[in-house]
Amino acid sequence: MARHERLVQRGSESLVLDHYLEALMRKPGALPSSVPLAQARQAGTFTCDHERYWAAARRGLGDSLGTRALIEVLLLHRTFSIDAIRSAICAVLDAGIVAPEAVAIEARSQAGQHLAAVIAIGEASVSSPRIDMTRYDRPPPDLARYDGLLGDNRAPQMPREAPEEVPSEEGAGLLAGSSR
């Protein structure tokens, strides 16, 4: 559900940038000249911090990928407060990183987590807009002890016997072994 401000002038329109982010992710070239962006700038919801991040992302990743990175940061506003995102953008830019994932990590740190994870991403954001997650790989857990518990406590398997048939009056002679 969307909420819009009440407009009193005939023919005026209020476009909220957040409502167009998914479409702009597919067509990032439409963002710079879009009406929702112009209205967000005028309303003050697209701040100078967003402008700085966008400029840095476009320098580091190119126009298309840099704009997509900005859109990912704008999508974070659905989860985090404007203050958390703005301070996260500043911290990430001060560290020389333009990855939107770094902004998300720093925004989480504003809610009580660590900034050190953002700095660890530094090299990954220079070459790619995505974080290399291989550094977080862990070996699979050792289940030998668990398997040992299962082996010792299993109930012995009993051979299945055929169920006993109860003869009916009609077929009593057939089950008793008589033949015709």
Query: How far is it, in rounded angstroms, from Cα 107 to Cα 101?
Result: 10
> What pLDDT score does 164 carry?
61
DSSP letter for 1, please: -
Query: How far is it, in rounded angstroms, from Cα 174 to Cα 107?
Result: 81
More confident residue, 167 or 147: 147
CB 41 within 8 A of CB 53: no
pLDDT tier at 114, thresholds 50, 70, 90: very low
Sole residue written with tokens 């009056």: 169
Q: Which of 77, 160, 73, 80 is nearest to 112 (CA)?
A: 80
pLDDT tier at 137, thresholds 50, 70, 90: confident
Most confident stretch, 75-84, 147-156, 159-168: 75-84
Q: Calculate mean pLDDT across residues 91-99.
A: 91
Which residues 6+ apart lie within 8 Å of 10 measured at CB? none
Query: How far is it, in rounded angstroms, from Cα 50 to Cα 53?
Result: 5
Cβ neighbours of 82 (radius 10 Å): 13
> What pLDDT score does 3 carry?
66
Q: Is 80 exceeded by the pLDDT of residue 36?
A: yes
> What pLDDT score does 69 carry?
94
Which own/partner pairs from 153-156 qualify as long-range (CB within 8 Å, at least 24 positions apart)?
Answer: none
Q: Calculate mean pLDDT across residues 115-134.
A: 54
> What pLDDT score does 133 carry?
62
pLDDT in tens, 41-86: 988 889 999 999 999 999 999 999 999 999 999 999 888 888 889 9
* Averaged pLDDT of the chain: 77
> pTM (2 decimals)?
0.58
Q: Calculate mean pLDDT across residues 80-95.
A: 90
Percent pLDDT > 90 in the chain is 31
